C-alpha cells in the first residue's frame, strides 16, 4: 500500500492526481496482485521452503529498482509519447509497478503454503496471513501518508522499502538453517 500511495505522488507531476491517475494505479496494482497470487500459489507446490520465499522477497525488492532510480526517464518517455492522463498513467504504472507488485503478490500464497501443516488448518492459516498482510498495509498506509512523506523524499522511501525487503529476505534465507538442502537429500 505504501508503494501504491507513493505511486500517486510519482505520477502526479506528469499526469496530475485526478481520478484517471488513481484509477490507473489501483487497476494496475489489483491486476498485478491477482497475477502474483496465482504465480505464488503455483510456485508454492514445488518443494516450498523458507529459502525460496526469501528469493521471492529479494526479487520483489530488486524489481522495484526502476521505481527508485529510473522513474524520471521512464515517466519522461511515457509523457513524451502519451500525455493523455488516462493512458499515460496506465502505461507508466505498468512500466514502473507491474513486475514488483506481481512478485510481491506471490509472497502471501507462498507463505500460506509454508505455514499450513495439515489441510484442516489451511483456512485458519490463510486468515492469519491475510490479517497480518492487511494490518501491515493499514499501518504502512497511515505511516507513509501521515508521516514518512513529510520526512523523506520519494527516492528515500522507495529505497527504504527495498532495504527492509532485503533485510527480511536475508533473515528468511538464513533462518532456513539449511532446511532446503536437507529437503533435497531426503
| Helical H segments across 16-106, by residue range | 19-43, 50-63, 65-69, 71-81, 85-105
pLDDT for 184 equals: 46
The one-digit pLDDT tens for each residue of the chain (186 residues) are 888 989 999 999 999 999 999 999 999 999 999 999 999 999 999 999 999 999 999 999 999 999 888 999 999 999 999 978 899 999 999 999 999 999 999 999 999 999 997 667 888 999 999 999 999 999 989 999 999 999 999 889 999 999 999 999 999 999 876 555 444 433
pLDDT for 2 equals: 86
Answer for the pair 104, 62: CB distance below 8 angstroms, yes or no: no
Answer for the pair 17, 8: CB distance below 8 angstroms, yes or no: yes
Cell numbers representing residue 72 in the block:
524520471
Instruction: Report residue 59: phi and psi, to 5°.
Output: -65, -40
Give the residue extent of every domain in the chain: 2-176
CA distance 49 to 181: 10
- CA distances to 22, 36, 153 from 30, rounded to whole Å, are 12, 10, 26
- CA distances to 4, 11, 20, 147 from 93, rounded to whole Å, are 10, 8, 12, 24
pLDDT for 179 equals: 55
Statement: the pTM of the whole predicted model exceeds 0.75: yes
Amino acid at each position: 500500500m505504501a508503494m501504491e500511495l507513493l505511486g500517486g505522488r510519482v505520477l502526479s507531476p506528469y499526469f496530475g492526481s485526478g481520478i484517471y491517475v488513481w484509477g490507473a494505479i489501483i487497476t494496475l496494482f489489483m491486476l498485478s496482485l491477482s497475477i502474483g497470487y496465482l504465480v505464488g500459489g503455483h510456485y508454492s507446490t514445488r518443494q516450498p521452503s523458507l529459502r525460496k520465499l526469501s528469493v521471492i522477497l529479494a526479487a520483489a525488492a530488486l524489481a522495484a529498482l526502476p521505481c527508485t532510480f529510473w522513474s524520471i526517464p521512464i515517466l519522461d518517455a511515457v509523457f513524451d509519447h502519451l500525455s493523455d492522463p488516462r493512458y499515460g498513467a496506465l502505461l507508466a504504472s505498468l512500466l514502473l509497478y507491474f513486475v514488483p507488485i506481481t512478485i510481491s503478490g506471490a509472497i502471501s500464497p507462498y507463505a500460506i503454503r509454508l505455514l499450513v501443516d495439515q489441510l484442516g488448518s489451511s483456512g485458519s492459516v490463510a486468515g492469519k496471513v491475510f490479517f497480518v498482510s492487511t494490518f501491515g498495509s493499514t499501518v504502512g498506509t497511515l505511516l507513509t501518508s501521515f508521516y514518512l512523506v513529510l520526512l523523506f523524499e520519494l527516492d528515500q522511501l522507495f529505497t527504504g522499502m527495498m532495504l527492509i525487503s532485503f533485510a527480511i529476505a536475508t533473515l528468511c534465507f538464513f533462518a532456513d538453517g539449511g532446511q532446503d538442502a536437507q529437503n533435497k537429500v531426503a
